[in-house]
Amino acid sequence: MAGELFFRKGYSAVTTDEIAYRAGISKKTLFKRFPTKKVLFDAVVDHFLSELEAELERIWNTSETDCLSKMKRFFLVVANRAGRISRVLMEDLSRVVPDTWNRFDSFRRRVFREKIGTLLYAAQKEGYVSSEWDVDLLQELLLEIISHTFIPEVIGTFSYPSPRIVEGLVNLMFQGILTEEGRKQFGLFRISNTPAVGR
């Protein structure tokens, strides 16, 4: 109940009166279990992140799925979970409860490094990712693109919902924007082959 309210209305707009009323309990009972709204919010966030991690672990431990299917399922879960977090809550995370935002960010970075990095290496080994790519560099680039897109100050500027943004980023990263013909025409971009300016 509290989670639904926080994720829909944000941290600031939700009152303990409203939580207690919706839960059908007194404020006194609520405060016996959760002495402050922040303690309750932290419990909601802990539950959200542990559910997300468990869901990602199930994907990870599925042995019959190839690495690219796991990667797609990983991003699908992330997109669906991101869709539960309103823009109002995203803004509150950075302004009102920044320590909680830091927990979200640390979780995201840890899980991304552990899971996506391993999947990228497997995809390269299986021939799905070009051997031209340094997988460590690719992993860092992807992590930073995602991390810097999903910060409250940036996500709030998009006119699209979070799941659509994840979908766009994943397709951009893994499908690219060029057609096969466009990729042939553009070729491989390398700074080291570019003549120095002024020569």
**What pLDDT, on the 0 to 100 scale, is given for residue 167?**
83
Amino acid at 109: R
Contact 128, 119 (CB under 8 A): no
**What pLDDT, on the 0 to 100 scale, is given for residue 177?**
62
pLDDT-derived band at 189, boundaries 50, 70, 90: low
Q: What is the pLDDT of residues 164-183, one digit of tens each?
A: 888 888 888 777 766 777 77
Pick from 61, 12, 56: which is nearest to 37 by CA? 12
**What pLDDT, on the 0 to 100 scale, is given for residue 48?**
94
Reply yes or no on whether the pLDDT at 196 is more than 50: no
Q: What is the pLDDT of residues 83-131, one digit of tens each?
A: 888 888 888 888 899 999 899 889 988 888 888 888 888 888 888 888 8
Reply yes or no on whether the pLDDT at 20 is more than 90: yes
Structure tokens belonging to residue 52: 């997300």
Please enumerate, as own/partner, the contacts of 16-19 that have beta carbons within 8 Å and a separation of 24 or more. Answer: 16/40
Q: Is 121 exposed, middle or buried (0-12, 13-18, 19+ CB in 10 A)?
A: middle
Residue 110 to residue 122: CA distance in whole angstroms: 18
**What pLDDT, on the 0 to 100 scale, is given for residue 198?**
43
DSSP letter, residue 196: P
**What pLDDT, on the 0 to 100 scale, is given for residue 158?**
79
For 60, list phi and psi in degrees, rounded to 5: -60, -40
C-alpha pair distances (Å), 103 with each of 42, 45, 97, 128: 10, 9, 10, 33
pLDDT-derived band at 31, boundaries 50, 70, 90: very high
Residues of the chain with pLDDT > 90: what percent? Answer: 30
Reply yes or no on whether the pLDDT at 186 is more than 80: no
Reply yes or no on whether the pLDDT at 197 is more than 50: no
Contact 49, 110 (CB under 8 A): no
Structure tokens belonging to residue 135: 């997988």
Give the mean pLDDT of 45-68.
88
79-115: b or e for each residue (b if 16 or more CB lie within 10 Å)?
bebbeebbebbbbbbeeebeebbebbeebbeebbeeb
Residue 186 to residue 39: CA distance in whole angstroms: 53
Domain 36-193 is of which CATH architecture? Orthogonal Bundle (1.10)
Amino acid at 53: E
Reply yes or no on whether the pLDDT at 37 is more than 90: yes
Q: Does this model's pTM top 0.85?
A: no
